[in-house]
Amino acid sequence: MTEPTCGVLIGREHHLPVRIYYEDTDFTGVVYHANYLRYFERGRSDFLRLAGISHTDLAGRDDPAAFVVVRMEIDFKRAAKVDDALTVVTLYDAVKGPRLLVTQRIMRGDELIAQAAVEAACITMDGRPRRPPADMVERLSPLFAKRD
């Protein structure tokens, strides 16, 4: 049995293929807007998984951690439709205290479908903000945007 793909890292960018199925669309065959949130989530999660960081491992640590999205700004540029082959492109830009700053876009070939600016917060299992685990930040730091 083969494992499902968790995408590929190309430089700092994580690329995750997504196929649009009938279940993803509204009655006109266009992707329902809320489903873009799911594609973006998959991109962020699979980026971390490919970098060797799983949500299960984070929750199972001696100092457990999880993430919540605290802000997301989405610009919808084009409609995706049933049978489209899309790519979710994810970049983890920086860690600032408990916050992870992420930029994402969904592409159909060279065509921009949607883009998002995401702010996620690292939390304890009882919902309090905390800094992300140091080993996670160390693992991700080569992939963060270079600062001037």
Q: Which of 24, 26, 46, 75 is catalytic?
A: 26
Beta strands in the chain (DSSP E): 8-10, 13-19, 66-76, 85-96, 99-108, 111-123
CB atoms within 10 A of CB 7: 21
- Phi and psi, residue 92, nearest 5°: -85, 115
Which residue from 128, 143, 146 is spatially nearest to 53, judged by alpha carbons?
143
Is 26 catalytic? The answer is yes
CB 12 within 8 A of CB 143: yes
Half-sphere exposure for 42 (CA within 13 Å, toward CB):
19
Q: What is the dihedral of CA 54, 35, 92, 75, to 10 degrees?
A: -170
Residue numbers annotated as active site: 26
